[in-house]
């Protein structure tokens, strides 16, 4: 089975070389979608051996993932994996995430930071932002999953061909979860470990996601 690991990247010169090398070393094909970085992301990703696609203008992580997913599906990927470029995910977890698909027990697998205690999630996130995001996901989309904003996911090519998310920026994670649940595919969550280098989306980032979801719903 062809596994294509898609890494959207924007100004990730600090981590991209290491991330790409580790993915290649683990035996997966890696596609970096550069979202018009201003630093050496493209150069370093190429040097590390990734196939690199470059957006001509910055459109956000959701758009980069869509570009990468469409490209991978067009080039024969059987399983698509979404993976962050900032070195916060562990390459060892890719095997864990794709396993239920290769064993035929799931169509979609979502990495979750909350199924075990291996991830040291910042307290504000663990006890405030994530519970709030879970409630919103449940109320707005009927999504009841342990990790409401996980960016580590894998799905089959068949799912990929039917998934069409419209959110270009950070709200894509919530929209994808909603589409996946609505699609009635077999979804499984597996524990993953996230190594936090920075806090990531804060409260105002969350508000922006809500605004984007609201506007897209009306549009």
Partner 1 sequence: MAQILVAVVMICFFLMKLYWQKRKGAVSSAEFIFWLVFWFGTLILVLLLKPLDRFVASLGFSVSAIQVAVYLAIAILFYFIFRLRLKLEKMEESLTKINEALTKTKSQPEKDL
Q: Which residues bind partner 1 (CB under 8 A)?
A: 2, 4, 29, 31, 33-34, 42, 45-46, 49-57, 59, 63, 66-67, 70-72, 75-77, 166, 168, 215-216, 218-219
Our CB check for partner 1 shows the closer of 42 and 145 to be 42
Q: CB of residue 118 vs partner 1: minimum separation in angstroms?
A: 30
Q: CB of residue 52 vs partner 1: minimum separation in angstroms?
A: 4
Q: CB of residue 198 vs partner 1: minimum separation in angstroms?
A: 26
DSSP string, 21-35: HHHHHTT-EEEEEE-
- What Rg, from alpha-carbon coordinates, does the chain have? 16
Question: 153-156 and 79-82: which strand pairing?
Answer: antiparallel
CA distance 30 to 120: 27
Q: CB of residue 97 vs partner 1: minimum separation in angstroms?
A: 18
Our CB check for partner 1 shows the closer of 46 and 99 to be 46
DSSP string, 52-88: EEE-SS---HHHHHHHHHHHHHHTT-SEEEE--SSS-
């Amino acid at each position: 089975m062809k596994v294509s690991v898609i890494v959207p990247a924007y100004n990730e010169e600090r981590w991209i070389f290491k991330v790409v090398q580790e993915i290649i070393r683990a035996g997966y094909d890696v596609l970096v979608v550069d979202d018009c970085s201003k630093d050496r992301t493209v150069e370093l990703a190429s040097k590390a051996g990734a196939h690199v696609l470059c957006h001509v203008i910055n459109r956000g992580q959701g758009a980069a993932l869509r570009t990468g997913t469409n490209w991978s599906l067009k080039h024969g990927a059987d399983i698509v994996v979404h993976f962050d470029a900032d070195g916060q995910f562990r390459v060892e977890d890719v095997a864990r995430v794709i396993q239920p698909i290769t064993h035929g027990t799931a169509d979609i697998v979502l990495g979750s930071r909350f199924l075990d205690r291996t991830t040291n999630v910042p307290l504000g996130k663990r006890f405030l932002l994530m519970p709030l995001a879970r409630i919103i996901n449940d109320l707005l989309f009927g999504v009841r999953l342990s990790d409401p904003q996980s960016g580590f996911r894998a799905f089959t090519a068949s799912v990929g061909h039917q998934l069409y998310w419209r959110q270009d920026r950070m709200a894509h994670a919530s929209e994808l979860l909603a589409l996946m649940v609505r699609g009635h595919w077999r979804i499984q969550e597996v524990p993953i470990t996230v190594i936090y280098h920075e806090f990531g989306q804060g409260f105002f980032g969350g508000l922006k996601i809500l605004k984007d979801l609201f506007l897209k719903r009306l549009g």
